[in-house]
Amino acid sequence: MQAIDNPAIAQMEQRYRATFINSLWGFRPLALIGTCNQEKRTNLAIFNSLVHIGANPPLFGLVVRPDSVDRHTLDNIRERKEFTVNLVGKDFVAQAHQTSARYPKDVSEFEATGLETEWKEGIDVPFVLKSSIQIHAKLVEEHSLAINGTEFLIAQVSTIYIHPSCIGADGFVDHLSAQTAAGIGLDAYYAPELIMRLPYAKPK
């Protein structure tokens, strides 16, 4: 094993370090965050920083870097207090990845990438039509991290749109059936296969 310490990390070339640290943690969920401003100008951005917070009420967190292309997404979420989460399917990872390009604010990544918008009745933020698991969410809390100015947003699930065939008898969401992809770092996309599902662990 090689030991790579803090000074060694600090001395890495910037892009090498970004690739290394971003890919260090392993497989991550991939979500396209759909937003719009008050004029219904839409925005779509890929995030791999979604994290489960709780089931009752159903809450999740989202890490947003204010200095990046995420900025348009953050502005829109703050303006509307609502957004959509659209899980990325294996068959559209290239289009999902393309949303990370630095498009100007007046360009919609829906149009630029060819991912079709879906508007649902009574909801004022756009979904990704192609996504087989879509979630309408509302912003409930925001934390600014003192150490690097990153924003941590907490949102509550409002409505989940999913094919009933993707939900098991015990509530387990079958992402193999939903064709959900996983990501590593900023550019690598994976299709997982099941190793095993285990019973509730008890001391033994």
How far apart are CB 57 and its own copies at their closest, in Å? 7
Count the site residues for its own copies by CB under 8 A: 109
Q: Closest CB to its own copies among 29 and 34?
A: 29
> In which region does residue 81 sit, left (phi positive, over 0), alpha (psi from -120 to 50) or beta (all else)?
left
Vertex 30 angle, CA 27 and 32, to 5°: 170
Site residues for its own copies, 49-78, by CB under 8 A, read 49-61, 63, 65
How far apart are CB 20 and its own copies at their closest, in Å? 4
- Is residue 129 part of the contact set for its own copies (CB under 8 A)? no
How far apart are CB 126 and its own copies at their closest, in Å? 15
Site residues for its own copies, 160-199, by CB under 8 A, read 160-164, 167, 170-173, 175, 180-182, 184-199
Yes or no: say if 63 and 29 are a contact pair by the CB < 8 Å rule: no
Q: Out of 14, 38, 39, 106, which residue is the one contacting its own copies (CB under 8 A)?
A: 14
Yes or no: say if 150 and 65 are a contact pair by the CB < 8 Å rule: yes
Vertex 141 angle, CA 187 and 153, to 5°: 5
Q: Closest CB to its own copies among 38 and 147?
A: 147
Q: Closest CB to its own copies among 79 and 177?
A: 177
Q: Out of 38, 39, 106, 203, which residue is the one contacting its own copies (CB under 8 A)?
A: 203
> What per-residue string of b and e applies to 87-120 under the rule 16 or more CB within 10 Å gives b?
bbbeebbebbbbbbeebeeeebbbeebebeebee
- Is residue 5 part of the contact set for its own copies (CB under 8 A)? yes
- Is residue 19 part of the contact set for its own copies (CB under 8 A)? yes
Residue 62, token pair as written in the block: 């989202």
- Is residue 106 part of the contact set for its own copies (CB under 8 A)? no
Q: Closest CB to its own copies among 2 and 38?
A: 2
Vertex 11 angle, CA 7 and 15, to 5°: 130
